[in-house]
Structure 1
């Protein structure tokens, strides 16, 4: 798992040096796949009668380990979050090159089936791999935001970011806030400029890390 993670990070760092927005767009394209896998595999397990979750488990009202590991609703909310990250990067021009789109879409298909195989062998290993990937993404966003703070603070946020963080479906947004739910609080991020947007994405990724850790 760690070798695969290190190889993925190295490849992205080398191929997209000096092209951060395109790199983020590819990351977000691929980042949606694990949540599709988790939802698909949980449906498969239930359909085959191998494992079934009760109605309360699906609602994911609490953030216990058992609940998170079986919650289709939490994984859907996480995928919904990654979709909006992807749309933000598209608004910033991350998908303009055909070569980037070709690479991202084919990598996403490969990544999906690779994670299906890993999940069949060990669900915990699948969650562990995603925990490391999300952690790397959070570090990358944080580094980019701090290195470009002044420039980003002078740029208004994309409309898709405003719609998601300020006027979107906050019910789904709240579903994957693992640490905030545990503290009994609601996370309501600022979105006044592009710097805020990247900080929000970083914080989203950190919440994914905590959720993936709880699922193992």
Structure 2
């Protein structure tokens, strides 16, 4: 797995290059519309995810998490502790707190663990809603971009249009890499350390992931 960080770097570079070339082919106006549409889609999806995710969490996730915790509580303390330690995407401080609760298990253990897990699981729901909303909005933007590509057939203006489109493509590529970093983070959290190549420890060895992943607004912070 020593080569995986380099593979992730190549993946980010490929996404960046493809976005730049595609924007060059589309031209300035289409590239500007794509960049503006990408930023608008990301911003709208961000707001929408923070609004809708708590509802989805209450409807589909909270009860399932509670049931899992209740099942774990019925097992031995060692079994539950082992389950918690296996959740590698959780911050170390949170796992230590959960392990401490296991050692002093009481009647309120289920509620305590559920409350502690919510701020960690909710961001995963948020990023999932974010990705779905962002993809839907970008489909709408793609239709507008196709219409603006017709400007590229104009002599001379079309050439300048493409050159400026390349410059905008670099910005679009950076945004796409940021979205890719969040998607990889979500997959790594969802995998929970079960796949060696898809772990946060491996991703963090990738230079590109560290750069773009540093701006992931969904990463939970535990005080």
TM bucket by the smaller chain? 0.3 to 0.5
Bigger relative contact order (CA 8 A; separation at least 6): 2
What TM-score do the two structures reach when normalised by structure 2?
0.34
What TM-score do the two structures reach when normalised by structure 1?
0.35
